[in-house]
Structure 1
Amino acid sequence: MATPDPETDETRATAEVVARRSYGRLVASLARRWGDLTRAEDALADAFERALRTWPDTGLPDQPEAWLLKTAHRRLIDGARQSGVRAHAEPELQRLLEEVSERADPDALPDDRLGLMLACAHPDLDPALHTPLMLQAVLGLDAARIGAAFLVSPAAMGQRLSRGKARLRERGARFEQPGKDELAGRITPVLNAIYAAYGTGWDEIGASESRVRGLADEALYLSRLLTELTPDIAEVWGLYALIAHCESRTPARRDSEGRFIPLSDQDTALWRETTIQNAETALRRALKLAPPGRYALEASIQSVHAERRFTGETNWLAAAALYDGLVSHTPSLGALTARACAHGEAFGADRALEALAALSDQAGAYQPFWAAQAHWLAQAGRGDEAAGAYERAMALSTDPAVRQYLFERAQAL
């Protein structure tokens, strides 16, 4: 067995730290200058590879990010020359190389990550590609990791990402930050993509924990990054508040043996108080900037739940009223199902079942609907009907722990 090389290990560790901290910023800078996301990613990957080969011998540079940026630009310039660049463009390439040498320090460059995120949410792209592109371009996740999160094979996800980047190139996508007025109208697809990364529509019953956890940290990072890049947009703060509130409860969602624990039964002492405080601060910022939109409303609902840590009770009247506002803004099946449950808690099982009955035609294979239906039928004393709904909910559950929880509820009828 080969003896571990401490210098190689240190080099790899440094490269990993740089990749996590600076990858998106470096790719964004390269993409803005060269107008091609694929070439920017390839050049930066080549720079990282060269770093792993050369740094153990030459020693770590004083500014690793600057070394990577300069090396990536050289790769792109060499590629342009080898592709038969026209003679009159050669002086421009030389000027660019000199400029890069002078300004290679990323701290001296504008932060282009917002422009990169907006490009990944380009209106000419299939919306289903917005999130995967953003995860790869901004965070450097590979197709295998992204595919696993979205239940797609690595090969299929790789093909989708390649087609999306080619589409951006064909459309001449700009990787620059728009003006303030233009930004407000373009930010929503970015917010939606980040929320989709966290788990489209957070459902306390029926969400696949493994899938939600798969990209939870990345989504939280991106939402926090947006608050730094666009601090004057209310919904940016609303999204961060929403994700932070949900993340604060992660330690309480499973017991020591891995059994699923619904929100109503969670030990609030396990909720992360610092994360709750961060969420509340962000929510207050959102509400000061503008009337609540979708994400601020959802964060406000999560804030009501968070109060139980301090008061021991949930204000279901407030939750029901907030859900009324949310469905008037975003009448998704998930929001309507959750609204029915909030009304049930506030006004009784009959109110919940009435609201759920109005959704039955569109419920189909939506597991949270059937879990909610089973719960409220049981609360209303309609055991036989509840058993059937529990069976349907179990069949639609992808998480074994959730299936076991529903099975135990059905057995208790």
Structure 2
Amino acid sequence: MTMDQVEAVFREERGRLLAALARRFGDLDLAEEVAAEAIETALVRWPVDGVPPNPGGWLMTTARRKAVDRLRRDQVYAAKLAILQVDADRAEPTRPGGEFPDDRLELFFTCAHPALAPEDRGALTLRCLAGLSTPEVARAFLVPAATMAKRIVRAKAKIRDARIPFRVPSKDELPERLPGVLQVIYSVFTEGYAASSGPYLQRLDLAEEAIRLARILHGLLPAEREVAGLLALMLLVHARRDARTGPDGQVVLLEDQDRSRWDHDQITEGRALVVSALTGGPAGPYAVQAAIAAVHDEAPTFASTDWPQIVALYDVLSALDGSPVIALNRAAAIAFRDGPEAALTLLDSLSGEPRLRDYHPYALARADLLDRLERRTEAIAAYEQALTLAGSDPERVHIRARLTALKDI
């Protein structure tokens, strides 16, 4: 097995390992520490002894032994964990066999506990259970890495101090926890396309993991229309994966993509889920975003896109979710319906939004509109700002190419 394959095993097993250890010992710090130690041991042992037939089982056994050793050395710590475990056992509801087929999904709900602040729930889940690094989590939430590190520490302390048990929520608790879980799954998906982990690297494994978790969740909660909406949205976006980058990893915009390379089976599945998500009452935010993605995917060419319908859907979405990022995307759609001048007016009205100040798509959108309006000097300045804010090599290469082309005119 090559080192790339070994790293793939670690990436695949880390989430399961942390979830099982956290549930067993009731302490995320301990789970993270012994999981990391087990992986370090594997890096030493496997090149000599060979990769075991069941790598996940080997890592779990090694991590549990290290946890037991740690608790034997620190009896005070062990006593605290024992109290937590008793509390968890008392709180554990009757669990039908096989109701939650995946420990990670089970703990997605646990980390979405209402006692935690909403931003802490997502941060903790992405860091500890989805396996993202702190900078990756920070990028997903558009905050500095130092701020995100404090959030994660705060969430762990809350779980420890409030003795929040690691357990499966009851069916009555699921509706309250579901929005947080959906947000986390979608954040994992979007990070898969953010390419923040390295040069020219899309973490499609993260995107596919998010889709897998959403499929499990949809199977468990088939009547929850927003679950269907989220799954539809991810399928419709992921269907374009092969056309999103060129031969050298460069970004290919939607308007320039070869639509014959899209996964049309996945589009068909996503469109069917959109119908389910929009049927039976007012639509939720994920269902509306999925409908927007479906309009894009249904168009045979970019030029034939139904922009009035997309803007109308963004109007609905804005009423459900008035975030500045949604407003930015709506302005981009208006640029194609009403022209760049109208869109630029909207973008300029968002200039005071703190979340957009360091958000490179905002600067890039302004640069593109200024370029289309032939305001060359302003466009160059906006492209240069976007270049300084871009978080990945593919994004920087794309912006640099646009900037160079404009300067060469």
Decide whether aligned partners of structure 1 residues 334 and 143 sit closer, same or farther in structure 2, where only a CA change above 3 A counts.
closer
State the one-letter code of the partner of 2:22.
A
Distance 1:281 1:377 in 2: 38
- Consecutive unaligned residues in structure 2, runs of 5 or more: 90-97
State the one-letter code of the partner of 1:394.
E
Cα pair 1:198 1:215 within 8 Å, conserved: no
Decide whether aligned partners of structure 1 residues 60 and 267 sit closer, same or farther in structure 2, where only a CA change above 3 A counts.
closer
Matching of residue 296 in structure 1 with residue 287 in structure 2: yes
What is the match of residue 274 of structure 2?
283
**Identity percentage over the alignment?**
33
Within 5 A, what are the aligned runs for 1:194-209? Answer: 194-199=185-190
Cα pair 1:199 1:212 within 8 Å, conserved: no
Of 219, 222, 226 in structure 1, the residue corresponding to residue 214 of structure 2 is: 226
Deviations 1:220-279 (A, max 9, x none): 413421330344333233223323333333333343455543222222223333443443
Cα drift, residue 316 of structure 1: 1.1
Cα drift, residue 319 of structure 1: 0.7
Cα drift, residue 172 of structure 1: 1.7
Scaled by the length of structure 1, the TM-score of the pair is 0.71
What is the match of residue 40 of structure 1?
31
What is the match of residue 401 of structure 1?
397
- Consecutive unaligned residues in structure 1, runs of 5 or more: 1-8, 97-106
Choose 31-40 or 342-351, whichever is displaced more. 342-351
Of 44, 51, 74 in structure 2, the residue corresponding to residue 83 of structure 1 is: 74
Within 5 A, what are the aligned runs for 1:107-122? Answer: 111-122=102-113
Of 245, 249, 253 in structure 1, the residue corresponding to residue 240 of structure 2 is: 249
Give SS of 2:304's match.
coil
Distance 2:8 2:404 in 1: 45
State the one-letter code of the partner of 1:388.
E
Distance 1:209 1:50 in 2: 24
Choose 295-304 or 357-366, whichever is displaced more. 357-366
What is the match of residue 27 of structure 1?
18
In our comparison, the structure showing a higher alpha carbon Rg is 1
Decide whether aligned partners of structure 1 residues 128 and 197 sit closer, same or farther in structure 2, where only a CA change above 3 A counts.
farther
Distance 1:66 1:244 in 2: 31
State the one-letter code of the partner of 1:402.
H
State the one-letter code of the partner of 1:113.
R
Of 354, 367, 381 in structure 2, the residue corresponding to residue 391 of structure 1 is: 381
Cα drift, residue 178 of structure 1: 0.8
Cα pair 2:200 2:250 within 8 Å, conserved: no
Cα drift, residue 160 of structure 1: 6.5
State the one-letter code of the partner of 2:156.
K
Cα pair 1:220 1:243 within 8 Å, conserved: no
Decide whether aligned partners of structure 1 residues 34 and 264 sit closer, same or farther in structure 2, where only a CA change above 3 A counts.
same
Matching of residue 183 in structure 1 with residue 174 in structure 2: yes
Deviations 1:264-306 (A, max 9, x none): 2222223333443443344344335764211221121111111
Give SS of 1:388's match.
helix
Cα pair 1:112 1:175 within 8 Å, conserved: no
Distance 1:38 1:115 in 2: 18
Cα drift, residue 67 of structure 1: 5.4
Distance 1:166 1:408 in 2: 49
What is the match of residue 346 of structure 1?
337
Give SS of 1:181's match.
coil
Scaled by the length of structure 2, the TM-score of the pair is 0.72
State the one-letter code of the partner of 2:214.
L
Within 5 A, what are the aligned runs for 1:113-152? Answer: 113-122=104-113, 130-131=121-122, 133-140=124-131
